[in-house]
Amino acid sequence: MKLFRVRAIARKEFIHIARDPRSLGMAIAIPMLLLLLFGFALTLDVDNVPLAVWDQNGTPESRAFISQFAGSRYFSIRAAVRDYREVERAIDTREALAALILPADFADQVAAGRDVPVQMIVDGSDANTATITMGYARAVALTYSQQIGLRELQRSGGVAPAAPIEIRPRVWFNSDMQSRNYIVPGLIAVIMMIIAALLTSLTVAREWERGTMEQVISTPVRGSELILGKLLPYFALGMLDVLIAVLMGELLFHVPLRGNAALLFGMAAVFLAGALTLGMLISIVARNQLLASQLAMVLTFLPAFLLSGFMYNIGNMPKAVQLITYLIPARYFVVLLKGIYLKGIGLEILWLEAGLLAMFGVVVMVAANLKFRKKVVP
């Protein structure tokens, strides 16, 4: 391999990128836009659930119970309704996602020390939010019940029994339980796959469509030199995107980077090299820009978004799909990112994921070199 040939191909590709502002804008602006959209708009936290309340009792006791929900950061009372028809309308119009219904004899049942059936209607069209909302409601009701029990014991002069087991939870690595802290690191993998999907998948196909590939293959440039030369400019752009993403995560979203920054960029470089080479392989096989871009979106961006563990827990997927995720390199990179970002661990623990990423890059590089042929195929 002659380095001056690689440099000449890379210079040619850099000039093409500089003369094509759409490609340059796509390489920098789109990842930044996606990071802004996902970082601010996408959240898995369930707070301020809009709540409708139907208080059929209207006593100080019922209002005290409702105040437990009003004082919680997990609920926001949006409407006071008077019958089931209004409850249905509030949920249908999305004015409320849940409705709390207190029976007419609420205060009497509480005073008698009996169990009080309080109805909680939840919009199940969003199953995840509905499940979390019901858990919040149970916790609020339990807290209120414990307060009543303690108050009754104090009135009777009794002593509250000691709890045999006391759980003292402590959250490591993401103590504030902010979904943004693990969404933003995972976005780096998706952004880098977008670079591969939208840019390198068009490089060789564009040469064939424009008729300039015949001129290239007539030169002494080898296939490996051509592939490497075309990859270098997009690798530089990809690493620039990684730098921008890391800076935005630190300065804009305040995501903690507890691990080694050099290790983060090193693993990003390994992953980016494999992802860009995969896009190049798709371009070599397709020889058509439209087909190449469609294949790249299906084979790179969508698996990185859906099957990497970035958004959805792999353990909750069907067994067959879990097996497929082992073929997705973004799965290992997401583990690396979360380990470096949130846990501050290194290769002494993440060596397997790092090795698999390196193996992925070698495999696709060999495949691209084997598939590329310096000859005109009709």
Predicted pLDDT of residue 166: 59
Predicted pLDDT of residue 85: 92
Please tell me the least confidently modeled range out of 66-80, 101-115, 206-220.
206-220
* Mean of per-residue pLDDT scores for the chain: 83
The DSSP result for 63-109, as a single string, is HHHHHHHHTSTTEEEEEE-SSHHHHHHHHHTTS-SEEEEE-TTHHHH
Task: State what percent of residues in the chain have pLDDT above 90.
Answer: 27
When pLDDT is cut at 50, 70 and 90, the band that residue 167 belongs to is low
Please tell me the least confidently modeled range out of 38-47, 117-126, 254-263, 330-339.
38-47
Inter-residue long-range contacts of 142-149, CB under 8 Å, 24+ positions, other chains counted: 143/68, 144/64, 144/65, 144/68, 148/110
Mean predicted confidence (pLDDT) in 182-211: 77
When pLDDT is cut at 50, 70 and 90, the band that residue 279 belongs to is confident
**At how many degrees (to 10) do helices 329-338 and 261-286 cross?**
160
CA–CA separation, 255 and 252 (whole Å)? 8
CA–CA separation, 65 and 110 (whole Å)? 11
Each residue's pLDDT tens digit, 292-342: 878 888 888 788 888 888 877 888 888 999 999 999 999 999 999 999 998
- Residues 357 and 200 sit within 8 Å (Cβ to Cβ): no
pLDDT at 212 over 80: no
Measured between alpha carbons, how far is residue 50 from residues 28, 60, 77, 131, 176 in Å? 38, 23, 6, 15, 22
pLDDT at 125 over 80: yes
Mean predicted confidence (pLDDT) in 204-216: 70
Measured between alpha carbons, how far is residue 113 from residues 56, 83, 105, 148 in Å? 19, 27, 12, 9
Higher model confidence: residue 289 or residue 320? 320
Domains of the chain: 3-43+178-371 (no CATH), 49-156 (3.40.1710.10)
- What's the whole-model pTM score? 0.79
pLDDT at 137 over 80: yes
pLDDT at 98 over 90: yes
Mean predicted confidence (pLDDT) in 257-278: 92
CA–CA separation, 286 and 293 (whole Å)? 9
Name the one residue in this structure whose structure tokens are 């992925």: 360
**At how many degrees (to 10) do helices 180-198 and 289-296 cross?**
160
Please tell me the least confidently modeled range out of 180-194, 254-268, 350-364.
180-194
Predicted pLDDT of residue 165: 62
| Closest to 243 measured CA to CA, from 190, 310, 278, 192 | 192
Sign of CA dihedral 212, 214, 219, 224: positive
